[in-house]
Structure 1
Amino acid sequence: MSLFRRSDTETRSSSGGWSSVFGTGGGLNNSMESTLRLIPVYAATSLIADSIAIMPVSEYESTGGSKQKAKQQSQLMIDPHPWPTMTRVEWLHQFTSSFLLRGNAYGLITAVDTAGTPSKIMWLHPDHVQVDESGSLPVYSYKGAKLDPSTVIHIPWYPLPGTSVGLSPISQFRQMLETGYAAEQYGKDWFDNGSTPSGHLKYNKGSLEGSDAAKVKSRFKAAVAGNDLFVSGSDWEWAALSVNPDEAQFLQTIKATANQVAAIYRVDPSDIGGEAGNSLTYSTLEMNQIKFQTRALQPIFTRLEHHISRLLPDFHYMKFNPDALVRTDIKTRMEVTKIGLETGMLLQEEGREQEERPALTDKQKQDWQKYYGKKPATGPKEETS
């Protein structure tokens, strides 16, 4: 019998729907909360969601062919969460978690400013959203109540042709996840209730009756308690028993599950309990971060950029700064900034802003020019006859 069970509450998709939100017996089912019990899934999704949640993001304005940070940031960019106890960090985390676990993020516009621009968006729990695609346009409902389509933001991850609903990774790979969960449960049961003894104390002079064997066992356990020494003659032989390789197969299954989850979410297997398939000695932390950013983060936050930019005023758009996550040593960072200043890619104020330092005052600029600025070039010396 499958660990996933059918429910009345489901989101229609090309896969035919999702299973129940709550299962029985505390086992793995198809809900977001339940799936997070599987360690590799929790590790992969939290790694991506945390990275996007802490990534700097700003509103930019494009006018006359030039692009610059908007002087007046929209309320949606400053504090988009409708709940006063949460910030943009939690807002981005909720979006990413829904996107990763369900393949869809459903947002509901709950407030607009005086100009009609959305100022608050609440991410709906995807398990309570239903999408009716029987008509020319999808109709969205939340907990059975129809939603005004003008207030709905739907961001799918993997939509197939003919549908606006993205595939759910949890539904698509539920057999693999069930196997991983079963392996973890087997390991817990084995260590809690395993039938394999920790060792074998053998009497070499013959057989022992039940009462004698129990008495020897009790004396032996008392002798070795607290890692004390056990002394015997030639009559006794002790052998510690290790885990049977066949019974310990769950360990390899858990690693294999982690590798498969890493492939789904495009993260390094070693970050979520798996084993990397290569040993590139020239790989660096910076290279790994760039790879993670390009493969796992950028496809997600780019989708959010496009959808939120459609809600901002004309010629305004949302832009993440993923470079802020790529941490280099201070020497390399200063060298890159120096190149940017010399080539005109950066202004001094922008370079200082990257380091979270205030702009120089006029007095500080004069002092810097006086002590560290380049001296004016002198012309060639005239030759004297």
Structure 2
Amino acid sequence: MSIFQRIWGKKSRDKPKNYLSTAFTFLFGPTSSGNVVTERTAMQTTAVYACVRVLSEAIAGLPLNMYRYTPDGGKDKAINHPLYRLLHDAPNPEMTSFIFRETLMSHLLLWGNAYAQIIRNGTGQPIALYPLLPSKMDVSRAANGQLIYTYSKDSDEFGADNRCQQIVLSQDEVLHVPGLGFDGLIGYSPIAMAKNAIGMSLAAEQYGALFFANGATPGGILEHPGIVKDPVKLRESWHAQFSGTNRHNVAVLEEGMTFQQLSIPPDQAQFLETRKFQIDEIARIFRVPPHMVGDLEKSTFSNIEQQSLEFVKYTLNPWCVRWEQAMNQQLVLPSERLQVFTKFNVDGLLRGDYQSRMNGYAIGRQNGWLSANDIRELEDMNRIPAEQGGDTYLVNGNMLPLDKAGKFYTESEGKTP
């Protein structure tokens, strides 16, 4: 029993909870804008869709490999390991590795959790991975304290016999990548946490759509100097003549009536400024630079490259570590964890422009910590055979250890130092 269990007792073994959601629906509640925000309606916002797409495609496009530790402390690709093919090529016969990771990453960004069923062979080695929808998953504990995953299959899903069939999976049958959460076991949805910001973006978009659907014509009131005998008939007559396809007709007002604008024009309501701010607000939720979702207002040629590097270091890298550690813990057999591990390669994204890379390679080559083959591998070029010097490390002859300074001069003059 761990010290945490001894201190907290039974409380430490409670069912994992996400206090913002149940197994099937988010308890969002009303937003300040009045719009209903769920993970699906949020994707109708262009900024949310762009952020989810950028992060999902970035994680899916990174090289993902299995490595094996070497006796000298280095690492080599474990190409012959069964997990290498699953993670690098195809996790199942129906999906490529790119599609699989893109799908799970989108689940992680929208629901806060990503699940995949692990199919194992007789030795316990994973042989296939299949994505599971987070909205149909419920995580609880068995009587022995182990996590169990209950998945609800609809009648249209493969193998479902009834209208709604529940499948109970053990902890070693599910790859679970949780996002930021309250208990470290279940992640909560970024969409639920930012429902008001996303709801405001939806409201601004709907307002603009309705405004232009009305021909960009603001509403108003008709003023009559006297008493209108039949206001309902007057209103219906006005709508019949100046709404729909007739909205741009010329109005002829009789009996001294006047038309007074009632709605606030979009420029006075700062409509465009609101929409621009909501893009930055949503990009802030997912920690995506605004220029990557199409907002170039504050971007320049000098800072876009720096923002892209920061995106890799401060946005992608935490997600990569989260994925790597989940896969190492749940896919690699306990007997192999000291020998093999999974790792994303982000070196290609951290490269600068061509001139900066060449200058860096030149410094590494001249100072003896990069060989020709090291550089060629970083540039995705074929290796030079070792017998031709491809693995030779060179050093600048002008650089000597301090205790050997002047040794050549003393030896040439026949003097002892």
TM (norm. structure 2) is 0.66
Residues of 1 paired with 2:75 and 2:292: CA distance?
37
Query: Hey, what does 1:121 align to over in structure 2?
Result: 129
Residues of 2 paired with 1:82 and 1:332: CA distance?
37
2:314 corresponds to which of 295, 307, 329: 295
**What is the number of equivalent residue pairs in this alignment?**
318
Q: Deviations over 1:139-166 (max 9, x none)?
A: 21111321122211222111213x6211
Provide structure 2 residue ranges, at least 5 long, that are not aligned to the other structure.
Answer: 1-15, 28-33, 153-165, 219-240, 242-247, 249-263, 399-407
3-state SS of paired residue (1:139): strand
Residues of 1 paired with 2:25 and 2:323: CA distance?
27
Classify 1:287/1:275 alpha carbon distance in 2 versus 1 (closer, same or farther; 3 Å). Answer: closer
User: Shift of the alpha carbon at 1:184?
Assistant: 0.7
Residues of 2 paired with 1:258 and 1:182: CA distance?
13
Classify 1:92/1:340 alpha carbon distance in 2 versus 1 (closer, same or farther; 3 Å). Answer: farther
User: Shift of the alpha carbon at 1:20?
Assistant: 7.0
3-state SS of paired residue (2:74): strand
Percent sequence identity over aligned pairs:
28
3-state SS of paired residue (1:19): coil
Residues of 2 paired with 1:178 and 1:194: CA distance?
25
Give the partner amino acid of 1:94. T
Query: Hey, what does 1:19 align to over in structure 2?
Result: 25
2:112 corresponds to which of 83, 103, 107: 103
Query: Hey, what does 1:263 align to over in structure 2?
Result: 284
2:175 corresponds to which of 112, 137, 153: 153
1:57 corresponds to which of 41, 53, 64: 64
Classify 1:69/1:286 alpha carbon distance in 2 versus 1 (closer, same or farther; 3 Å). Answer: farther
Q: Deviations over 1:298-346 (max 9, x none)?
A: 1111011112123233321111121211342222212222333344443
User: Shift of the alpha carbon at 1:190?
Assistant: 1.0
Classify 1:293/1:362 alpha carbon distance in 2 versus 1 (closer, same or farther; 3 Å). Answer: closer
Residues of 1 paired with 2:110 and 2:324: CA distance?
20
Is the Cα–Cα contact under 8 Å of residues 103 and 169 in structure 1 kept in the other structure? Answer: yes
Residues of 2 paired with 1:115 and 1:146: CA distance?
21
Residues of 2 paired with 1:55 and 1:284: CA distance?
23
3-state SS of paired residue (1:284): helix
Equivalent residue runs for 1:1-385 within 5 Å: 13-17=18-22, 19=25, 30-64=37-71, 66-80=73-87, 81-112=90-121, 116-132=124-140, 136-143=145-152, 144-161=166-183, 164-194=185-215, 196=217, 244-245=265-266, 249-272=270-293, 283-310=302-329, 311-312=331-332, 313-314=336-337, 315-361=339-385, 365=389
Residues of 2 paired with 1:98 and 1:375: CA distance?
52
3-state SS of paired residue (1:106): strand
Residues of 2 paired with 1:339 and 1:84: CA distance?
46
Q: Deviations over 1:85-120 (max 9, x none)?
A: 4221112212211111111111210244x7532232
Residues of 1 paired with 2:412 and 2:267: CA distance?
91
User: Shift of the alpha carbon at 1:39?
Assistant: 0.6
Is the Cα–Cα contact under 8 Å of residues 32 and 102 in structure 1 kept in the other structure? Answer: yes
Give the partner amino acid of 1:127. S
Residues of 1 paired with 2:207 and 2:294: CA distance?
17
Residues of 2 paired with 1:133 and 1:260: CA distance?
37
Is the Cα–Cα contact under 8 Å of residues 60 and 68 in structure 1 kept in the other structure? Answer: yes
Residues of 2 paired with 1:63 and 1:263: CA distance?
41
Is the Cα–Cα contact under 8 Å of residues 92 and 129 in structure 2 kept in the other structure? Answer: no
Residues of 1 paired with 2:25 and 2:379: CA distance?
48
Residues of 1 paired with 2:105 and 2:326: CA distance?
14
Residues of 2 paired with 1:31 and 1:263: CA distance?
19
Residues of 2 paired with 1:331 and 1:36: CA distance?
40
Residues of 1 paired with 2:287 and 2:213: CA distance?
34
User: Shift of the alpha carbon at 1:19?
Assistant: 3.1
3-state SS of paired residue (2:207): helix
CA RMSD of aligned residues (A): 3.7
Provide structure 1 residue ranges, at least 5 long, that are not aligned to the other structure.
Answer: 1-10, 22-26, 198-213, 215-220, 222-242
Is the Cα–Cα contact under 8 Å of residues 103 and 156 in structure 1 kept in the other structure? Answer: yes
